[in-house]
Amino acid sequence: MTDSQPSAGETPSDSTVPKVVVSRLSLYLRELQRLQAAGQETISSSQLGTLLGFSDAQVRKDLGFVGQFGYPGVGYRCDELVLAMRDILGTNQPWPVAMVGVGNLGLALLGYRGFGRQNFSIVAAFDADPAKVGQTIQGLTIQPLDELATTVQEKHVRLGMIVVPGPQAQEVSDQLVAAGVEGIVNFAPVTLTLPPHVQVVGVDLAIELEQLSFAVTNKLVKTLPQE
């Protein structure tokens, strides 16, 4: 194997990790957790790359941002990589999340068990619809928006999720920021205007489908016989 590195656990000198690498680290983490659950203790860069469709060189480069964990003749130890990736991704600690919007998508997100496996938990849910306020869903009582600021402070919430229609998204994001939230996942199909200290990730499912349809369409075009 070619995964030998100078020193196990050594932190790389450049701590700035590009976003594209962060997205791949999340993929590596999920795969390593799956392998751990199956009882696998070690893996090589080529094996990990094959599972995810990356080259072994790409895997080694990406893992270099996490630390130096390769062992001669062994490869990488799954448990060490999982811990290191949790450290660098920040999921080595609990992350309470406040969600605004309890429509169909919001209900699905409340029931998603994958958040807990990565140390995220939705601890509060809010909605502007008086008919929904007071209902208990997945153990959470839906709260009115005027309780947002107080709840964020009481439950030490730093992350928020916006699951409201586009026209309401900016106003909700302003309320989250004013309450002290530092990071927002935005499911509304709009671009938010936020202060520089607040991080945002947009999740537009229609755009994801557009990207997929583009890829499939162009694959079909490439396979058609040329006249």
Q: Which residues of the chain have pLDDT under 50?
A: 1-14
Q: What is the pLDDT of residue 68?
A: 77
Predicted structure pTM score? 0.81
* Main-chain dihedrals φ then ψ at residue 114, nearest 5 degrees: -65, -25
Q: What is the pLDDT of residue 218?
A: 84
H or E element that contains 96: strand 95-100
Q: What is the pLDDT of residue 225?
A: 58
Instruction: Give CATH for domain 95-207.
Output: 3.40.50.720
Two structure tokens written together for 112: 């998603």
Q: Which CATH class is domain 19-89?
A: mainly alpha
Q: What is the pLDDT of residue 2?
A: 42
Cα torsion 29, 92, 203, 45 to 10°: value is -20
Q: What is the pLDDT of residue 221?
A: 58
Q: Where do you find CATH 1.10.10.10 in the chain?
A: 19-89
**2-44 pLDDT per residue, tens:** 443 333 344 443 357 888 899 999 999 999 999 999 999 999 9
Q: Where do you find CATH 3.40.50.720 in the chain?
A: 95-207
Which has the closest alpha carbon to 96: 126, 124, 121? 121
